[in-house]
């Protein structure tokens, strides 16, 4: 007996569900708000970080998303834990009624010269930035394949191809993430699932504010546009890759670095 074909997914964003990892703060928060602005219900996860009570910021993000008149599901979830990821995906589908977009935004950095880098610093960055994205893609793939529709976007970084000093673990993780993006696009394309990545340069977020002032000034000088990116500008590129306008784009990494990579 032939399996019935899945119901066609309507065009546009309203009524669809976006899942964003690391969505409480910074770029992740901007991505959540962009999807909410477009009419999507939004699920986002977060973890508390050393010295930061992210749960308070998560509540503010949740409240802001709700103000757009869409539904929201927020939960703590460590993307390194496949069991927690599976639970977050199940809860998202149960609470919001489906899942259409996944944005792998969760990521960390532990910078330092590679000859002084600890095993823990290497392992934590790789497990969060690469294995975490893999866990999420693997968890959503069966559902997206079943409905024959889905968009996955992972947040890479310009350091994947232009690493500076002291970012061996971070650069390696983002290069691996871009390889994962291409592989997933190959495997999921026949199910009408687009898989892409964005590679931002420096973004004006809380993390950027914690870096030395000379780092921001140098990044601004080397940008062809002469400025840093605002989180919203990167979020809008991500929403484009999830839009019907980008339905023929897959397996690509879209650089959003203000021309930093042109030098």
Domain count, the chain: 1
In order of 39, 84, 135, 180, the CA distances from 188 in angstroms are 26, 23, 15, 12
Mean pLDDT calculated for residue range 63-80: 97
SS3 254: strand
Question: Residue 198 falls within a domain, yes or no?
Answer: yes
Question: Residue 249 falls within a domain, yes or no?
Answer: yes
Q: Are 74 and 45 in contact (CB under 8 A)?
A: yes
Question: Residue 7 falls within a domain, yes or no?
Answer: no
- Name the residue with higher pLDDT: 207 or 229: 229
Q: Are 13 and 44 in contact (CB under 8 A)?
A: no
Minimal CA–CA distance to 34: which of 153, 132, 128? 153
The residue behind tokens 């993006």 is: 181
Q: Are 33 and 65 in contact (CB under 8 A)?
A: yes
Top-ranked range on mean pLDDT: pick from 73-82, 156-165, 199-208: 73-82
Question: Residue 5 falls within a domain, yes or no?
Answer: no
Residues 174, 130, 60, 232: what is their CA dihedral angle, to the nearest 10 degrees?
Answer: 30
- Report if pTM > 0.85: yes
* Cα–Cα distance measured from residue 81 to residue 97, given in angstroms and rounded to the nearest whole number: 24
Q: Does the structure show a pLDDT above 60 at 38?
A: yes
Give the confidence band of 210 by pLDDT, cuts at 50, 70, 90: low
Give the confidence band of 228 by pLDDT, cuts at 50, 70, 90: confident
Note down the domain range covering 157: 17-257
* Cα–Cα distance measured from residue 57 to residue 26, given in angstroms and rounded to the nearest whole number: 10
Question: Residue 102 falls within a domain, yes or no?
Answer: yes
From 89, 170, 173, 246, active-site residue: 170
Minimal CA–CA distance to 154: which of 31, 29, 65, 15? 31
Question: Residue 189 falls within a domain, yes or no?
Answer: yes
* Cα–Cα distance measured from residue 177 to residue 36, given in angstroms and rounded to the nearest whole number: 26
Question: Residue 224 falls within a domain, yes or no?
Answer: yes
| CATH classification of the domain holding 38 | 3.40.50.720
Residues in the chain: 263
In order of 60, 150, 254, the CA distances from 55 in angstroms are 9, 29, 31
In order of 34, 41, 105, the CA distances from 236 in angstroms are 7, 16, 14
Top-ranked range on mean pLDDT: pick from 78-87, 117-126, 222-231: 78-87
CB atoms within 10 A of CB 59: 12
- Name the residue with higher pLDDT: 225 or 19: 19
Is 170 part of the annotated catalytic residue set?
Answer: yes
Question: Residue 11 falls within a domain, yes or no?
Answer: no
* Cα–Cα distance measured from residue 187 to residue 185, given in angstroms and rounded to the nearest whole number: 6
């Amino acid at each position: 007996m032939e399996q019935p074909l899945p119901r066609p997914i309507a065009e546009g964003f309203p009524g669809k569900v976006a899942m964003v990892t690391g969505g409480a703060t910074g770029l992740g928060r901007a991505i959540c708000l962009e999807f909410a602005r477009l009419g999507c219900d939004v699920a986002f996860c977060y973890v508390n970080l050393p010295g930061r009570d992210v749960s308070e910021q998560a509540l503010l993000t949740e409240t802001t998303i709700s103000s757009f008149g869409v539904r929201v599901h927020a939960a703590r979830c460590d993307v390194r834990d496949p069991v927690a990821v599976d639970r977050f995906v199940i809860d998202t589908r149960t609470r919001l009624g489906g899942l259409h977009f996944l944005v792998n935004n969760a990521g960390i950095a532990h910078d330092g010269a590679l000859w002084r880098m600890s095993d823990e610093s290497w392992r934590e960055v790789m497990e969060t930035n690469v294995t975490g994205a893999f866990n999420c893609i693997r968890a959503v793939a069966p559902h997206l394949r079943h409905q024959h529709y889905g968009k996955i976007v992972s947040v890479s970084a310009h350091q994947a191809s232009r690493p500076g000093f002291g970012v061996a673990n971070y650069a390696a993780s983002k290069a691996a993430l871009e390889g994962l993006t291409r592989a997933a696009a190959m495997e999921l394309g026949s199910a009408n699932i687009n898989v892409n990545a964005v590679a931002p340069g420096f973004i004006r977020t809380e993390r950027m504010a914690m870096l030395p002032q000379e780092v921001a000034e140098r990044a601004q000088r080397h940008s062809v546009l002469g400025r840093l990116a605002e989180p919203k500008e990167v979020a809008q590129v991500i929403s484009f890759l999830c839009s019907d306008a980008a339905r023929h784009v897959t397996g690509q990494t879209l650089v959003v670095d203000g021309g930093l990579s042109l030098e």
